[in-house]
Structure 1
Amino acid sequence: MTPTQPNLEDIFMKTIGVIGLGNMGRGMALSLQRGGYEVVGTDASSETRASLAAEGVTVVDTVAEVMAKVELVVLSLPTAAIVSEVVAGKGGIIENAKKGVIVVDTSTSHPDTTRALAKQLHAVGMRMMDAPVSGGPKGAITGTMAMVIGASDEDFAEAEPVLKAMSAKRVHIGGVGAGHVAKIANNLFTASHLLVAGEVTRMAAAAGVPVERLLQGINAGSGRSFVTEHSFPTWVMNGKFDSGFTMKLMRKDVRLSQELTSAVGLDLPLTKRVAELWAESSQTIGDAEDFNRIVELGTRESKAAA
């Protein structure tokens, strides 16, 4: 499905910045360009910058050069610490503040980090919203991602035409930080479902039941999930394991869930065990491997033993 693109006559934000041009940022930049926006991007990697420039996007070397040109800037960065550095660090967005610009963080980050940065941006006349995404690199390049959004009603309404060029679904969850709470919850579900699906399919195979038919039965019943309906046929059963999302990134997101749980003063034993299993998986499944490999937990020798 291709999302509806904005009427070019109605576009008042004409130039959009994208900071972070990796798997997701590259796709978002190209979707924005296809949607009729001028895009100015940058990345810490000169090779990544050169690669996107070859695809026709205007690429510059610094955040300052991005900020000089744009009405809205999209962040697609791997960690909350890097988001903080890009926004509030030396040579970052705040040092190059431009009144009225909205900063849209599509990363999976900590809601407290987002809220603190939003206050700093507000002090220099800028605004922030969190719009973490689902859909992977394919969703980014096709503009079919889903976004869960934390923003004021006014900022969401102003930014939505830009977000629409990058996504097929947008759910406004609440104020700043709410989008990151929702994304952490979403990824915790996925992390949990993959662990359970890996164990359930091994149980069925050991009992002599073909896994393909087991999944057909589950997907016809109440146990189905995105993992059983999509992840297994797309990346697991065919052995491809090429979703574009790594073990390292999912481990980071699961850690974020535990930080959030602690911050709000809860003791959640099941999700705590999920987090422990994801952390322990580093002994057998490397950071660079596809995150769906977690279904193989317990089937490999430890790297130390090997």
Structure 2
Amino acid sequence: MKIIGVVGLGNMGRGMALSLQRGGFTVLGYDPSPAAARTLAEAGIGIRTSVAALAKEVDALVLSLPTSQVVEAVVNGADGIAANGRRGLLVIDTSTADPASTRKLAAQLDEAGIALIDAPVSGGPKGALNGALTMVLGGSAEDVARAEPVLAAMSAKRVHIGDVGAGHVTKLINNLMCASHLLIAGEAMRLAEAAGVSPARVLEGVNAGSGRSGVTQTNYPTWILNDAFDSGFTMKLMRKDVRLAMNLAEATGTLATAPFSAQAGRLWAASAESVADDEDFNRIVQFIEGRKA
């Protein structure tokens, strides 16, 4: 693994490409946005004009894309990976995507002699830039081991969950839990205010007790209490992830026995009426159904 390609040079892909470059790899990239490509070119990343060109040159190809539909187009298009990648290529999909789509794509790529692992990430743009992401991995033990030097350059922690698709299942569950924690934390802090107690002080107490979560320990002090709301992850993206989690629950027959998850899914969908897609996802703590923001 010497030459690594990155498809998608946005907030996350840009940081991952630069982390790979610091890790000693030759890094090539592609993005349909000329501005995104130009920024990376100025940093010494070799820019290619198509996915096909990347797939023909690299040992591994990292995907950092917004939806399964985009991943499918990048894999199956005439200019895509399946038609142009050389045998032995390893595809590392860091997107948060539909596990069923991931498994289907992995089977299609396998017929072309190309391996795929799903490696969705947590840690945001800062983690991507610093090589400090957390990854949950789906794929064969052999493919994950082959990818390890590449993954290590981008992440601080990696957990191999299981076969292809297991990483994306885990990521959807993680994001559903985070989305739910944000909803209950928002309600709890409004309760604290109504009871005449400082939310910041209440959080100190919660974080010393059993009610704490990543939301109370990280999201609130980093992006919410200070009104920063600049995590780099949008309402649109979290709504997509929650929707995928709801689809997974429905497909597996578990939604009927998951009333709290179903309510979280409904509230996140309803928030689109008053919290814009481009707002930071932590804004959900201010959402009250039926009230305009």
Asked if residue 150 in structure 1 is aligned to residue 133 in structure 2, the reply is no
Residue deviations 1:66-101 (CA, integer Å, cap 9, x gap): 112100000000000000000112211011021001
- Aligned partner of 1:273 in structure 2 is 263
**Structure 1: gaps of 5 or more residues:** 1-12
Counterpart of 1:49 in structure 2: which amino acid? Answer: A
Q: Is the 8 A contact 2:133 2:156 kept in 1?
A: yes
Asked if residue 61 in structure 1 is aligned to residue 40 in structure 2, the reply is no
Q: Is the 8 A contact 2:21 2:27 kept in 1?
A: yes
Counterpart of 1:285 in structure 2: which amino acid? Answer: V
1: distance between equivalents of 2:276 and 2:78?
33
Asked if residue 177 in structure 1 is aligned to residue 160 in structure 2, the reply is no
CA drift of 1:121 comes to: 0.3
Counterpart of 2:244 in structure 1: which amino acid? Answer: L
2: distance between equivalents of 1:18 and 1:216?
41
Which deviates more, 257-266 or 216-225?
257-266
**Structure 2: gaps of 5 or more residues:** none
- Aligned partner of 1:196 in structure 2 is 184
- Aligned partner of 2:214 in structure 1 is 226
- Aligned partner of 1:287 in structure 2 is 277
Alignment of 1:159-178 (within 5 A): 159-178=147-166
Q: Is the 8 A contact 2:267 2:289 kept in 1?
A: no
Counterpart of 2:51 in structure 1: which amino acid? Answer: V
Asked if residue 111 in structure 1 is aligned to residue 99 in structure 2, the reply is yes
1:127 paired residue among 103, 107, 115: 115
CA drift of 1:118 comes to: 0.4
* TM-score computed with the length of structure 2 as normaliser: 0.98
Alignment of 1:95-110 (within 5 A): 95-110=83-98
Residue deviations 1:118-156 (CA, integer Å, cap 9, x gap): 010000111000000000000000000000000101001
- Aligned partner of 1:236 in structure 2 is 224
* TM-score computed with the length of structure 1 as normaliser: 0.94
Asked if residue 141 in structure 1 is aligned to residue 125 in structure 2, the reply is no
Residue deviations 1:148-195 (CA, integer Å, cap 9, x gap): 000101001111111000000000000000000000000001000000
Aligned pairs, number = 291
CA drift of 1:302 comes to: 2.9
- Aligned partner of 1:208 in structure 2 is 196
Q: Is the 8 A contact 2:270 2:289 kept in 1?
A: no
2:243 paired residue among 243, 255, 258: 255
Q: CA RMSD in A?
A: 1.0
1:231–1:300 CA distance, 2 compared to 1 (3 A): farther
Question: Tell me, what secondary structure is at the counterpart of 2:57?
Answer: coil
CA drift of 1:269 comes to: 1.3
Question: Tell me, what secondary structure is at the counterpart of 1:17?
Answer: strand
2: distance between equivalents of 1:36 and 1:47?
25
1: distance between equivalents of 2:147 and 2:85?
18
Which deviates more, 69-78 or 90-99?
90-99
Counterpart of 1:156 in structure 2: which amino acid? Answer: V
Aligned-pair identity (%)? 57
